[in-house]
Amino acid sequence: MGNTCLRLADTDAAQLHYQKSREIFGPLLDLAPDSGVVQANYMLALARCGQVEPAAELAFSLAENHPDNPHLLVSAACGEAICAAVIAGGAEPEQLEMKDRVRCLEHRSRALHNVSEALNLDYGLLFLLRVDPDTVPLQQLPEFIQLLNRVESIGLADGTMKRSAVEPTQPP
C-alpha cells in the first residue's frame, strides 16, 4: 500500500503504510527468521521509515544468504538504494559530509551489485527494475541505466529475451 500511495504522490499516507508494515513484519520476522520474503518486506519498511542501519544489515544479509534468488537480490538492491537516498536526503553524494558520502556511495554500490547479480539470474526482471518505486533512487544513475541497457542488448542479441519482456506493450 505504501508504494501505491507513493505513486499517487501521497507521501503522508505512504509513510503511515510503511510504519504499519514495519509493525507487522517485525514480529513476523521473530516467528520466521529464515524467511527471505519476510526479511525483504521488513527491510524495505525499515528503510522507508528512515531506519538505515537495521535496514542495511538486513539487505546485506538477504543478498548474502539468498545469492541464487533474483527476486530477493532485487529486494536487497532496493533496500540499499533507499538507504542511500535516506542518507543523501535529496542531495548529491558530493554535497554530503565525507562520512555520509562514503555511506551513501557504499549503499549505492551494493545496490548496483545486487541488481547485476539478479539480472545474471533472470533477464525478465528488466521491466520491473525500470518501473518499481523502490528502484527510483537508482533509476537516474548512469551506472544503473547502462547496466539495464547492456543486459537488454545482450538478451535481445542472443535471442534469449523478446523485446516485449523489457518494454511494456502499448495499448492499441
Q: Which of 9-13, 39-43, 140-144 has the lowest mean pLDDT?
A: 9-13
Closest CA to 76 of 123, 104, 36: 36
Model's pTM, two decimal places? 0.85
| Calculated CA dihedral for residues 46, 52, 55, 57, nearest 10 degrees | -160
For position 170, what pLDDT does the model report?
Answer: 39
CATH topology of domain 2-165: 1.25.40
Measured between alpha carbons, how far is 75 from 43 in angstroms, rounded to an integer?
9
pLDDT tens, position by position, 48-75: 999 999 999 999 999 999 999 999 999 9
Measured between alpha carbons, how far is 45 from 164 in angstroms, rounded to an integer?
31
Measured between alpha carbons, how far is 59 from 1 in angstroms, rounded to an integer?
21
pLDDT band at 151 (very low <50, low <70, confident <90, very high): confident
pLDDT tens, position by position, 95-112: 999 999 999 999 999 999
Closest CA to 53 of 109, 129, 106: 106
Cα–Cα distances in Å, from 62 out to 34, 75, 134?
Answer: 10, 8, 16
pLDDT tens, position by position, 26-50: 999 999 989 999 999 999 999 999 9
The three-class DSSP label of residue 88 is: helix
The three-class DSSP label of residue 10 is: coil
**What average pLDDT does the chain have?**
86
| Calculated CA dihedral for residues 157, 162, 168, 172, nearest 10 degrees | 120
Q: Which residues contact 92 (CB under 8 A, 6 or more apart)?
A: none
For position 160, what pLDDT does the model report?
Answer: 57
For position 156, what pLDDT does the model report?
Answer: 55
